[in-house]
Amino acid sequence: MTEEESEKNYRSTLPGPLGIIDTWISRAESAILALGVILMAVNTVANVVSRFALGESLHFSEEINRILIVMVTFAGLGYAARHGRHIRMSAFYDALPTGARRWLMVAICLFTSLVMFVLCYFSIGYIETLYGRGRVLPSLSVPVWMIYLWVPVGFTITGIQYLLTAIKNLTSRDVYLSTHVVDGYKDTETEV
């Protein structure tokens, strides 16, 4: 099974109800990301066609893309954490023995989880501020605070993913980047 197929058919390795919830969240994230990217593409193409055919852009196109970018960005945080697709700078980490790498990964995951929950807290405060100001998008007349609801959701899901990864590393002999991605590098062939 290729890496792409395993992401498409993701099944959580967590036990019981946690596994069911994790699998459901993964499928929801994948659907949100796919739908968001497709809608951005359709919206952008429609705007370009309108500009050339009618000589005028769609007045709401930029706002729709703004909403979709926020949605895709923050839904994608959890997706990246779930599939171990986050940025790693691992020069010192790679030099450590497996046991030390596992404990360092636990510390990294717990710290990252804490940061995600703190950012969630501050993002809720930001949404409350926007709500209090009563601003709306000019073309769509949608309250601005509504488009940022994805931010705390994304931070929460990502924080949970990192917390679960820490737990997985505490209960396993291997080092995990996420609850189902074992740390390591794939050997790839290079063509000369």
Query: pLDDT tier at 7 (50, 70, 90 boundaries)?
Result: low
Residue carrying structure tokens 């396993």: 172
Residue 143: how many other CB atoms lie within 10 Å: 15
Residue carrying structure tokens 């980490």: 93
- pLDDT average, residue stretch 108-128: 97
SS (H, E, C) 118-133: HHHHHHHHHHHHHHHH
The pLDDT of residue 172: 85
Query: How many angstroms separate the CA atoms of 12 and 49, rounded?
Result: 43
pTM: 0.83
Query: How many angstroms separate the CA atoms of 50 and 56, rounded?
Result: 6
The pLDDT of residue 96: 86
